Amino acid sequence: MKEASKTTKLIVAAVTVAMILLPLIHSGGSVTAVIGFLVPFVTTVAILAIIAIGLNVQWGYTGIFNFGVVGFFMVGAFVAAIVTKSPADSEFVQYVGGFGDRLAFLPFLDSREWLPFIFGVLAAALASCTAVTMEMYAERKGWNVDGLEVDCRYSPAERGSPTRFELVLRIPAHLGEEQIERLRVIAAKCPVHRTLEGEVAFDEQVELV
């Protein structure tokens, strides 16, 4: 037991030294570069360690398989990506949201960069739902649709004009005209598409607390 503990300590010490020396040598002796490497690395290791411990307690000790841990990890990953992502250029902002500079009403939060992304989630939901619907139909028909892609551009409603979703369906060229036309029809039947296309009613209530 003592021998194993000693070996473990030596391995940890060797890995720690390597993690410091490698970025230090690669950056020409820059301490800032070492810190810039270690902080995200250690943070990632800590996050994965928490997930592993949680799964070990639930699945390893109790035998209960729980997707909740993975779900929380997914939500946290998306939130972290949105909050920490680098500023988007104008083309990206236009692609995912279509609002551009018009949402820059909170300059201290630099909302011009991240608010369009939040609204762009709606376009992403439509694109992903359309792709999944087409793939499920093609799989049921036995068609090979490898490489199928769906892009969506979202233009917000302006006075006198409706909200516009521009869908681009990239369908493999080896499919026949009848198959392509059928996939185009099926694409419009995805749940998100039908919800946005149909009439929407809002029931608003006020509750005093």
pLDDT value at residue 3: 62
> Span 87-209: which CATH code?
3.30.300.20
The pTM for the full model equals 0.46
Look-up of token digits 């059928």: 182
Helical H runs in 85-190?
90-96, 111-141, 177-187
Tell me the pLDDT of the chain averaged across its residues.
Answer: 76
Mean pLDDT in consecutive groups of 10 residues from the start of the chain, 209 residues: 72 85 80 80 84 81 76 76 54 43 47 54 83 91 90 76 84 91 92 82 83
Q: Looking at this protein, which amino acid is placed at residue 36? A: G
pLDDT value at residue 142: 92
Q: How far does Cα 193 stand from its chain's mean position?
A: 20
- Per-residue pLDDT of 74-103, as tens digits, reads 787 777 666 655 544 444 444 444 444 444
What are the boundaries of each domain within the chain?
A: 1-84, 87-209
